[in-house]
Every structure is written in C-alpha cells, then in structure tokens.
Amino acid sequence: MSVNTTITHNPLLIGKGLPPFEAIKPDHVVPAIAQLLAELDKELATLEVNVQPTWSGLVEPLDRLGERLSWTWGIVGHLMGVKNSPELREAYETVQPDVVQFYNKLSQSQPLYEAFKALRASENWDSLDSAQKRIVEAAIRDAELSGIGLTGEKRDRFNAIELELAEITTKFGNHVLDATKAFSLTLTTKEEIDGLPPSLTSLAASSARAAGEENATAEDGPWRITLDAPSFGPFIQHSTRRDLREKVYKAYISRASSGELDNTPLIERILQLRQEKAHLLGFNSYAQLSLASKMAPSVDAVEALLEELRRASYDAAVKEFEELKAFAASKGAPEASDLKHWDISFWAERQREEKFDFSAEELRPYFPLPQVLDGLFSLVNRLFGVTITAADSQAPVWQEDVRYFQVADETGEAIAYFYLDPYSRPAEKRGGAWMNDCIGRAKIVAENGTNSIRKPVAYLVCNQTPPVDGKPSLMTFGEVETLFHEFGHGLQHMLTRVDYAGAAGINNVEWDAVELPSQFMENWCYHRETLLGMAKHYETGEALPEHYFQKLLAARNYMSGTGMLRQLHFSLVDIELHNRYQPGGNESITDVRNRIAKTTTILPTLPEDSFLCAFGHIFAGGYAAGYYSYKWAEVLSADAFAAFEEAGLDDPQTLAVTGKRFRDTVLALGGSKQPMEVFKSFRGREPSTEPLLKHSGLAA
C-alpha cells in the first residue's frame, strides 16, 4: 500500500461527525496532522488576504478553519487520556510542536486581529447580539494574551516559550502516569490484607492477574495494591497494617520526584517560563495573566475569598484532628499520641463508621452503576425536562465498556448525545474524572445557504471500580458524587441554546465559573427522593434503609473543616507559586509550600512529601493560578442550590419551575454573557458565601 492511499483513507481527516474510533490507529496521527496543517496553512493565508471585518467575512470562516483542527487534534488528545500507549505518545510528541506553532500563528495573525478590532469599531457592531459581541471581545483579548502585540525578538521568544511549555507540561503528565504505574505492592499473606474490604481484595487479585499471576483469587491472593485511586484510596482507609499504609502513602506522595521521572526540574522550568511569558505581555506575574480571562477581578479578590474560607475552616479542622486523636486513643491505638499522615484516613474512616455506624463499603451494593444512571437521568428529567435513553449502537467506541446515550427535549426530539467511559484502566487511562467536548453545538450554514443546528456530543470519563467477579460496577458514594459532578459539566455542554460555536456550552465561559453546574449537581446526591430513588441493593432490589440515608446526611459534613482546608492549601500554594514566587531565588518551591502549610495544614508536611511533583492540575492541566476556581465556583453552586432549597425540594412543581430557570440561564446561555450576569439572571442577586458555609456545616 503506498503512503498516499494511507493518507487519503486516514480516519483522522474526516473532519466532522462522530470519530470512527475502531478505525483510528496511532500511525494515522503523524500523516493526518501533517496533511491537515499544510491545508490549514493555505486556508489561513487566503483568509488573511480576503478577510472582511464582518461576522460572515471573519468569524464564520475562522470557525470553520479552527474546527477542522480541533476535530482531529481533539480526538488525539482524547485518546491520550483514555487509550494511552507508547505508540500514541510518540506520535503525539512528534506533531505537538507543529500544532502549537499553528495555533500560535492563528492567534497571532495581525490581519485577523485588525479585522476583529475593525468589526468592534464598525457600524455593524450594534447589529450583533450579546453572544457575538462576547466572542469578538474574547478574540481580541485572547490575541492580546497570545502575544499579538509583540514583534521581532519578543515575539520569537514568546513563541519559543509556548512550544517549550506545551512540551514540558505534557512530559509532566506522562511522568505522573508512569510513576503511578511503576509502583505496586504485592501482598501474599492473609495477615497483610487484614482490614481490606472484599471490593478491594477482588480488585487487587484482578490487578495481580493482569500483572501475570494468573491464579490470583480474591480469597487466596496474591493481591496487588497500586497507586491508582480505586486501589490506593481504600487501602489507606482500611488496611490495619500501619507499616504498609506508611509504605504506600509515602510512595504516593513521592510520585515523580526522583530518578528519570523527577518532575522537580520541570516545575522550576514551567514556573520560570510562565513568569517570563507574563512579563512579555506586560503583567507583573503569571497569576495576573491567568486572571485576565477569569471571573475573579484580581489576585487580591481571590486571596480575600480564600482567606475568608480559611478562617471559617481552620479552627474546625484543628478540633476535628483533636477528636480523631482522642478517638484513636479510646481504641487503644499506640500511635494515638502521634498520628501521622498515613493514619488520618484510616482513623477517620473508623471514627466515621462508629459515629455514623456505617462504612463506605457497606453502601456499595446499593449503588450499581446502571441503577445510579437511572436515578441521575430521572432527576435530570424532573429538573430540566429532558429524557435520556441508551443509543449504544449509534456510535463507534474506543473500548468495549464505553456507552453512548441520547438526550431528547420535551417534544421527544434529540438535542444532544454523550459517551460514558466509567471504569478505571490504569495501564492506559489517566486517573481522575473529566468531561470533554467531542462536538460542540453550532449553526451550520451549508453551501446552498440552508441552516441546520449541529447537535452537541460530550465525553464523560470516570475512573470507578470496574465490574469484578460477575458483579456489576458497585460504586462508593464518592464515585456517585463524581458521576453527578461530571454530568453537570455535560449538561452545560449539551443543553446550551447558543448557536455560535465560540460561546456555546462551556466555550467562552470563564474558567472560575465553569465548575458551577458540576458542583451544583453534587448536591442532589443528598436529596432524599433522588438518593432513595436510585439506591437499591443490586441482588435483592431492597431500597437503601432510611437509617443509612440519615447517616449519609449526618456524615456529609464529617471532617468538612479538614476537607475545605486541604483545597484551600492547594489553592493558596498555586496562587503563591504563580504570583510572588521567584524561580531560582532564595526560597524553593518546597519552602513556599511549607510556609503556606503553617496556616493551611494541621500536620506539618513530611520531608519526603513531593506532592507538587504530581500536581497535574496546575502543571499539566488548565488550573495554573486557577485552582482557586473550585472554591470560587463552589460559592456560586451552593448559592444556586440554595434557590432550590428555598423553593422547596419536595415540591415537584416548584422544582420544575426553578429547574427551568436554571436551564434557561446557567445551562443555556453558555459563554454568551458574563458569568456574573448569568448568575444574577438565575438568582436575582450577586452570590453569597453563606450557603457554602452552611452546606459545609461551617457557618458561624
């Protein structure tokens, strides 16, 4: 087969519709990207010569060009997250610099920038609606943040920084993945698995079988414990072997901090390059650059909010820790007087079991995935009037466990679709959970002038325990919350009514407002009708007993001061590293973290704690100088949920009315208006921190 035939039949070059996953191979990536970039280069050059400062002469052709690249590159990025392999990585790393260079060229196009400014200054401006205006203004701002104003050496330097940052942040993420995969602890005796729940011994035996121990069983082992969340989390919570907890915990916090996978030099370099980039663009720090496109008005405003929440949670966290020590002492634990980091989860879980008289494991049988989905879909139907049905045969998938669903409106017409990839696959899938867009909503104008609406499609990815030993995927309550969270992002992507790609769904929504719908959805996991409607024992069909529901409610704010403080610790370290920290100065990144830890952690950090080396959110993801966004948006989401509480959570009529208002504002308007305006149009006022503190049990 000649090279040309390969390229003409390259599935990554289709450019529209659902990706044909079963046909895509890693060796399609390099030829597809090479051919696509060559074509787009020509298109861009033609557009620059012929551009008109009008919507149809500038924004529409630019959208078409950008979407061809994002369709292809989006699939490659998606597969990097869910079907990683040495071949795919190599292909990705080969073409990534070319893709970055093309995006730079696009965002630094002087003719397009001038056309956007001319459009803003023209008489056409007033004929544009608010979504169109926001798109144009964002394009001008983004061009300015992408170095459009730089010339000569400064522009060359800026572009070199962008290239290097793209390369080393990808490398950072790969190091974390590899370091997570590199550690495993094989247990061979009953004594070593003391305390571990059956769900974990099943998973650990199946992990041992995958690693070559073909006779491993849940009963007799061997059992393989890994640093992957479904293994690490339950192990630290339940293993009675303090020595093994210490070993696994220390392996976890020192991931990617030594040897070939050491991320320390990459962190220094990333911070240095980000700072240099900010200075080139005229900002004092990278944090200021980051906030230029966010909802929060300034670093001061962010720090003020974080400090307000820190004051509300610090004393609570101290008290929680003292209670935990007293509890461990009452159980005769020799370590009670000196609780260490690897003891906290273990004793917190014992105290929670005793205080609220149930374990997270006991609830798993009540949350089989299919039933949780039914409960989630039924809630979304009651609140927002949409109906979700399975559509598995209608889309190719990248792995046999992946599902596909249709979302229909009140009239029964399909308005959106989504994929669900629920289970952990540590060998090829990165940890965590996320929503990504596969296809965005947009009005498509055909050659003959007819209009049609392209329906949005979302990727929803989780990492829960897979079905093991003939049982369905039995979820912990935490995994249920995670699914609801990601589904909230999915709803904003799928229920948008904006017809311009640039502001539909989550596009053009400020980063610190984008967690509003996702965190809002988590609240429904504690809503009686929703929870009891989906929690039924997978074998007997028995509903979750009432006493469990009461205990879940009571346990909701268990250690909430500690939980809040932990997130504030991450947020403050992130802002500090990107605002005041000077790479190569007198203070190291570890010094910065330890200094902030004095007021944000109860136990001092361990000498071997290299958590920052695995902090992918800020060094490999989009949360740089933006980790605070979780808390910023949580203030919004708690206040939004409070509107439903005020309307009456048990009255289907008022729920539907409030749900419709939420759908028509937060979910429908996407990035077409400023998030504060969107929030006020739903709530009728600006947000307050009171509901968040109340929901967390931290209100004065």
How do residues 29-71 score in pLDDT, each as one tens digit?
Answer: 999 999 999 999 999 999 999 999 999 999 999 999 999 999 9
CATH number at residue 335: 1.10.1370.10
**Percent above pLDDT 90 for the chain:** 92
Residue 274 confidence (pLDDT): 98
691 in a structural domain: no
Q: How far is CA 342 from CA 181, 246, 251, 346, 616, in A?
A: 20, 6, 11, 7, 22
Count of structural domains within the chain: 4
Residue 700 confidence (pLDDT): 72
Tell me: do 397 and 530 sit in the same domain. Answer: yes
Residue 154 confidence (pLDDT): 96
* pLDDT at residue 79 is higher than 80: yes
Tokens linked to 592: 């910065």
Per-residue model confidence as pLDDT tens digits over 532-571 = 999 999 999 999 999 999 999 988 999 999 999 999 999 9
Tell me: do 269 and 282 sit in the same domain. Answer: yes
291 in a structural domain: yes
CA 363 to chain centre: 25
Q: How far is CA 663 from CA 99, 141, 538, 639, in A?
A: 36, 28, 33, 16
Q: What pTM, to 2 d.p., does this model score?
A: 0.86
Tokens linked to 613: 């080396």
Domain that holds residue 22: 3-149
164 in a structural domain: no
* pLDDT at residue 195 is higher than 50: yes
Give the chain's mean pLDDT. 95
Segment (H or E) for 639:
helix 629-647
Tell me: do 44 and 101 sit in the same domain. Answer: yes
308 in a structural domain: yes
* pLDDT at residue 2 is higher than 60: no
Rounded distance, CA 396 to CA 21, Å?
A: 6
Beta strands at 223-226 and 184-187: parallel, antiparallel or unpaired: antiparallel
* pLDDT at residue 6 is higher than 70: no
Measured between its terminal Cα atoms, the distance across the chain in Å is 73
pLDDT category at 144 given cuts 50, 70, 90 is very high
- Mean pLDDT over residues 594-619, rounded? 95
Residue 401 confidence (pLDDT): 96
Closest among 501, 614, 437 to 77, alpha carbons compared: 437
Q: Could you give the dihedral angle defined by the CA atoms of residues 121, 126, 132 and 138, in that order, rounded to the nearest 10 degrees?
A: 30
Rounded distance, CA 509 to CA 601, Å?
A: 32
Residue 526 confidence (pLDDT): 95
Tell me: do 242 and 327 sit in the same domain. Answer: no
**Sheet hosting strand 387-390, strand order edge to edge:** 387-390, 403-408, 414-423, 457-464, 434-439
Question: Of 149, 171, 206, which marks where a domain is finished?
Answer: 149
329 in a structural domain: yes
Tell me: do 7 and 135 sit in the same domain. Answer: yes
520 in a structural domain: yes
Tell me: do 265 and 249 sit in the same domain. Answer: no
Query: For the chain, what is the largest distance between any 2 Cα atoms, rounded to a whole number of angstroms?
Result: 80
* pLDDT at residue 361 is higher than 90: no
Tokens linked to 579: 């605002």
Tell me: do 233 and 329 sit in the same domain. Answer: no
pLDDT category at 427 given cuts 50, 70, 90 is confident
Per the document, the length of the chain is 700
Q: Which residues contact 598 (CB under 8 A, 6 or more apart)?
A: none
pLDDT category at 359 given cuts 50, 70, 90 is confident
Active-site hit among 67, 162, 320, 486: 486
* pLDDT at residue 125 is higher than 80: yes
- Mean pLDDT over residues 6-10, rounded? 67
Tell me: do 436 and 481 sit in the same domain. Answer: yes
Residue 431 confidence (pLDDT): 86
- Mean pLDDT over residues 581-600, rounded? 95
Per-residue model confidence as pLDDT tens digits over 398-411 = 999 999 999 999 99
Residue 8 confidence (pLDDT): 58
* pLDDT at residue 647 is higher than 80: yes
Residue 673 exposure: Cα atoms within 13 Å on the Cβ side: 16
Residue 444 confidence (pLDDT): 86
**Percent above pLDDT 70 for the chain:** 99
94 in a structural domain: yes
Please answer whether residues 471 and 500 qualify as being in contact, where contact means their C-beta atoms are separated by less than 8 angstroms. no
Tell me: do 80 and 127 sit in the same domain. Answer: yes
659 in a structural domain: no
Instruction: Establish whether the linkage from the previous residue to 53 is cis, with ω within 30° of 0.
Output: no
- Mean pLDDT over residues 365-374, rounded? 97
Tell me: do 482 and 620 sit in the same domain. Answer: no
Rounded distance, CA 162 to CA 97, Å?
A: 9
- Name the burial class of residue 585, with classes exposed (0-12), middle (13-18) and buried (19+) by CB atoms within 10 angstroms of its CB: exposed
- Mean pLDDT over residues 304-320, rounded? 96
Question: Of 97, 125, 149, which marks where a domain is finished?
Answer: 149
Please answer whether residues 564 and 307 qualify as being in contact, where contact means their C-beta atoms are separated by less than 8 angstroms. no
Tell me: do 488 and 405 sit in the same domain. Answer: yes
Residue 621 confidence (pLDDT): 87
Tell me: do 467 and 538 sit in the same domain. Answer: yes
Question: Of 627, 651, 675, which marks where a domain is finished?
Answer: 627
Residue 4 confidence (pLDDT): 43
Per-residue model confidence as pLDDT tens digits over 196-255 = 999 999 999 999 999 999 999 999 999 999 999 899 999 999 999 999 999 999 999 999
> 439-462 as b/e, with b when 16 or more CB fall inside 10 Å?
bbbbeeeeeeeeeeebbbbbbbbb
Q: Where are the alpha helices (DSSP H) in 27-129?
A: 29-50, 60-82, 86-107, 110-121
* pLDDT at residue 449 is higher than 80: no
- Mean pLDDT over residues 581-590, rounded? 93
Residue 456 confidence (pLDDT): 98
48 an active-site residue?
no
- Mean pLDDT over residues 93-121, rounded? 95
CATH number at residue 143: 1.10.1370.40
* pLDDT at residue 649 is higher than 80: yes
